């Protein structure tokens, strides 16, 4: 029986590739896609999600959600993905439009209709936080929660301290982390280094000369240049497809540990920082200084620290050939 997935996304270039993976997985039924403001505006992200669904020939609803974070103005990442989020190549859906229902309502209803589903989040967590605040009981209906977000114990990609998805709406991220969900955190750092698609691999994908392969590379053309500017790496980094690969096959994550994780919401310097208690100083009094005000805080997230890079790439390529 196919596994049910619910995907919440701020669809830009790497999100779109992640959608291609989920929609192409033979053992997965994507029950719904919901969209949120993040990389691009809500309207643009919804159009991009509809294009990905149309490209795959899939038949499922896309629900537009929240157009700004819980407590802040929306700030996008068009500087990384292009003005339309897909590299400014003019990709637009021709036939599909968003469903009328609001994404938050759709999230709650989809969870009730598919108990034990896998929730995959690829953008800011605003929609998910609002659904949890409205109906906390949906926690019991979610089997896995795979969150692409955060930068455990490493540099950020939008500030020195924070990864973009968490930084955009840190308050929402805190709601999700403290909701009782057993979050599987797949951070930005996992798409770096050897996980980046190299120029030779990019050319190899293009050589397959099919619509999915061309779209995956072309939609990330702007992001490729942005990555070179930001990190000096020549290639395409794909954080959302890495998270989707882990959602599809958890064994691609080769180092998993349970930790207490919190998000900084008050400091502008460290806004959105995912604070990971790697040494369990908040959970074990023996590790806590006498002056510490931290209370007993057990693990609330399963953090992925490493992936099998060859297997992640082979899984990706299997959906693009």
Residue 229 near residue 285, CB atoms below 8 Å = no
What is the three-class DSSP state of 304? strand
Mean pLDDT of 248-275: 97
Give tens-digit pLDDT for 201-259: 999 999 999 999 999 999 999 999 999 999 999 999 999 999 999 999 999 999 999 99
Average pLDDT over residues 79-106: 96
CATH topology of domain 3-320: Inosine-uridine Nucleoside N-ribohydrolase; Chain A (3.90.245)
Q: What is the pLDDT of residue 293?
A: 58
**If you average pLDDT over residues 171-180, what whole number do you get?**
98
pLDDT value at residue 281: 82
**Is residue 292 scored above 70 in pLDDT?**
no
Q: Please choose, from the candidates 32, 13, 66, 45, the residue with its C-alpha nearest in 3D space to the C-alpha of residue 215.
A: 13
Give pLDDT, residue 290.
56
Dist CA 10 CA 20 (whole Å): 15
Cα distances (Å, whole numbers) of residue 292 to 155, 222, 261, 271: 25, 46, 17, 22
Q: Is 113 helix (H, G, I), strand (E, B) or coil?
A: helix
What are the sequence ranges of the domains in the chain? Answer: 3-320
Please determine, for residue 287, whether its predicted confidence score (pLDDT) is greater than 70. Answer: no
- Segment 178-188, tens digit of pLDDT: 999 989 999 99
Closest CA to 223 of 200, 196, 246: 196
pLDDT in tens, 118-171: 999 999 999 999 999 999 999 999 999 999 999 999 999 999 999 999 999 999
């Amino acid at each position: 029986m196919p596994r049910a997935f619910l995907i919440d996304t701020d669809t830009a270039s790497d999100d779109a590739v992640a959608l291609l993976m989920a929609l192409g997985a033979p053992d997965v039924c994507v029950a719904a896609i919901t969209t949120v403001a993040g990389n691009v505006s809500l309207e643009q992200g919804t159009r991009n999600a509809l294009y990905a669904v149309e490209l795959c020939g899939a038949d499922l609803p896309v629900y537009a959600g929240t157009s700004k974070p819980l407590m802040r103005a929306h700030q996008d990442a068009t500087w990384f993905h292009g003005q339309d989020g897909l590299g400014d190549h003019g990709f637009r859906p021709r036939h599909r439009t968003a469903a009328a229902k609001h994404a938050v309502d759709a999230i709650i209803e989809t969870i009730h209709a598919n108990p034990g589903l896998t929730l995959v989040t690829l953008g800011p967590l605003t929609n998910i936080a609002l659904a949890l605040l409205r109906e906390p009981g949906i926690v019991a209906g979610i089997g896995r929660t795979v969150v692409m977000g955060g930068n455990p114990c490493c540099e950020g990609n939008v500030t020195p301290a924070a990864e973009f998805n968490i930084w955009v709406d840190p308050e929402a991220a805190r709601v999700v982390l403290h909701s009782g969900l057993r979050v599987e955190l797949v951070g930005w750092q996992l798409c770096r280094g050897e996980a980046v698609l190299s120029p030779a691999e990019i050319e190899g994908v293009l050589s397959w000369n099919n619509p999915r392969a061309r779209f995956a590379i072309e939609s990330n053309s702007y992001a490729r240049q942005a990555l070179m500017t930001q990190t000096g790496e020549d290639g395409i980094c794909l954080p959302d497809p890495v998270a989707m690969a882990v959602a599809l096959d958890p064994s691609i994550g080769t180092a998993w540990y349970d930790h207490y994780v919190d998000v900084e919401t008050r400091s502008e310097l460290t806004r959105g920082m995912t604070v990971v208690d790697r040494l369990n100083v908040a959970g074990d009094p023996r590790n806590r200084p006498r002056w510490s005000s931290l209370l007993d805080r057990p693990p609330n997230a399963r953090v992925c620290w490493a992936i099998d890079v060859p297997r992640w790439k082979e899984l990706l390529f299997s959906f693009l050939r």
